[in-house]
Amino acid sequence: MTAEVIIEADPWRGLEIGGLAARAVDAALADRGLDPADWEVAVLACDDARIAELNAGFRGKNAPTNVLSWPSEERGAANAGDKPETPEGARELGDIALAFETCFDEAAAAGKPLEDHLTHLIVHGTLHLLGYDHSRDADGDLMESVEIAILAKLGLPNPYAEERRDWPDT
């Protein structure tokens, strides 16, 4: 199993979030040289109220956001712009949470299909689980280029073409 989806909010039931999550997680892992069958990611499909609680509790930000991620262990690179080390051992990479209303509103505002936006956010969250980050400019440049390449392999356009540095808020 690659992606286990927990649906906590009813609007998600109208989407094929399980297949979409598996496709996005698998693509990110395969691109980074990992066999998707060897790793697990939990995806929480929640609403804005729930993600606001999580965001407040874990990040001190009392507001909803599109995606949050919690790696099972720290995997970030010590030096800015360096590729994180490939994880070993642990089968569970971590957890990702998505807020339906925020994701839906962002996709609508950008004129993007919701499924494309969700795919991007799940790829983004998976990369965070693998140690990629965007808190430093050089790390952000690396993460953005990896995201763009993964999404291109999935047949999706560059999500940053319009607004450079508009990273999801993880």
Q: Residue 69: which of 33, 42, 49 has the closest Cα? A: 42
Residue 42 lies in a domain: yes
Closest CA to 72 of 54, 96, 51, 53: 96
CATH number at residue 49: 3.40.390.30
Examine residue 47 and state whether it is found in any structural domain, yes or no: yes
For 130, residues 6+ apart whose C-beta sits below 8 A from its C-beta are 28, 29, 32, 71, 75, 84, 87, 93
- For residue 135, give its domain range: 3-153
For residue 40, give the 3-state DSSP assignment: strand
158 assigned to some structural domain: no
Number of domains in the chain: 1
Q: Which pLDDT does position 86 carry in this prediction?
A: 87
Angstrom distances, CA of residue 17 to CA of 58, 86, 88, 146: 24, 27, 27, 23
Residue 167 lies in a domain: no
Does any domain span residue 163? no
Query: Residue 170 domain-assigned?
Result: no
Any domain includes 164? no
**Nearest alpha-carbon partner for 125 in 37, 60, 49, 54:** 54
Q: How does pLDDT run along the chain (170 residues), one tens digit per residue?
A: 589 999 999 999 999 999 999 999 999 999 999 999 999 999 999 999 999 999 999 999 999 999 999 999 999 999 999 999 888 876 999 999 999 999 999 999 999 999 999 999 999 999 999 999 999 999 999 999 999 999 999 999 999 986 544 556 55
Which tokens hold the place of 73?
Answer: 């262990």
Q: What is the pTM of this model?
A: 0.93
Token pair for residue 17? 């979030």
Q: For residue 108, is it within any domain? A: yes
Q: Of 74, 51, 47, which is closest to residue 129 (Cα–Cα)?
A: 74
First-residue to last-residue Cα distance in the chain = 24
